[in-house]
A = this chain, B = another copy of it.
């Protein structure tokens, strides 16, 4: 789809953004990106920015998982996005964060100072184009999530989440034995509940049910094994073929 490479491992000094850019960029631009980038690390659970905060950087996730969520002041919260390695954080052209961002697991970001990044972007059309591309992907993901939140049962929600993470995670492959797959679940039950619009008790119950029926296996608390992906896929309620997810 794109000649841009999205794997951190392929680019020692700086990941995605750098890599995303350098596929077509001149050396000058690479140097410029290098000069405005810096790394930041966060521990699991740590907040990164709050809704309404001024954000003076954009970033890409190097390792770990971050969450975007919206909160109602009575305490109800809804996660509206999950950032895995190679995902982009921040909104070029907008300096106020519209949601809370937090580290779900230990997290490393590669940050770029916003102003010079935007300047570079305006001067380099294909970067703007790439940003549009990525934003459209996020929009697709958000809308897929609307279907999950609005119309799926608890069981389908859990199956959908597992399927989505499995697809993402296993392309950056932790292990993929035959058609079975295995991955480290990066979310607590509570985080899953926040994402799926459920309570953590319901999440736990549904996971237990899937386990009981042999659709998934847990190794310890977080390592998930999916012996037969198609079987899980059926539980999502989705159209078999129709390409979901961004």
Residues on A facing B (Cβ under 8 Å): 51-52, 68, 70, 72-74, 76-78, 80-81, 91-94, 98-99, 122, 125, 128-129, 131-133, 135-136, 138-140, 142-147, 149-151, 196-197, 237-239, 242
Instruction: Indicate if the CB atoms of A81 and B51 lie closer than 8 Å.
Output: no
**Copies per assembly:** 2
Contact between A242 and B135, CB atoms less than 8 A apart: no
> Would you list 13 pairs from A and B whose C-beta atoms are within 8 A, ordered by A residue?
A72-B151, A76-B151, A77-B151, A78-B147, A92-B132, A128-B128, A128-B129, A131-B132, A132-B132, A135-B135, A138-B139, A142-B142, A142-B143
- Inside 8 A of A93's CB, which chain B residues have their CB? 129, 132-133, 136
Whether A147 lies near B80 (C-beta < 8 A) is yes
How many Å lie between the Cα of A98 and that of B91 in the bound state?
23
Q: Given A99-B143, A138-B139, A146-B146, A128–B122 Cβ distance below 8 Å? A: no
Please state if A81 and B237 are interface contacts (CB–CB under 8 Å): no
Q: Report Cα–Cα, A150/B192, bound state, in Å.
A: 12
Which residue in B132, B140, B146, B196 is a CB contact (below 8 Å) of A78? B146
Provide the residues of chain B in CB contact with A196, threshold 8 Å.
150
For A140, list chain B residues within 8 Å (CB). Answer: 98
In the complex, chain B residues whose CB is within 8 Å of the CB of A98 = 140, 143
A74 to B129, CA, bound (A): 37
In the complex, which residues of chain B have a beta carbon less than 8 angstroms from the beta carbon of A237?
72, 74
Least Cβ–Cβ distance between A106 and chain B, in angstroms: 25
**Docked complex Cα distance between A150 and B149 (Å):** 5
Report how far A146 CA is from B77 CA in the complex, Å.
10
- When the two chains form their complex, are residues A147 and B242 in contact, meaning their CB atoms are under 8 A apart? no
The residue that A147 contacts in the complex, of B70, B122, B147, B151, with Cβ under 8 A, is B70
Q: Which of B132, B136, B146, B242 is within 8 Å of A149, CB to CB?
A: B146
- Give, as a whole number of angstroms, the nearest-CB distance from A243 to chain B: 9
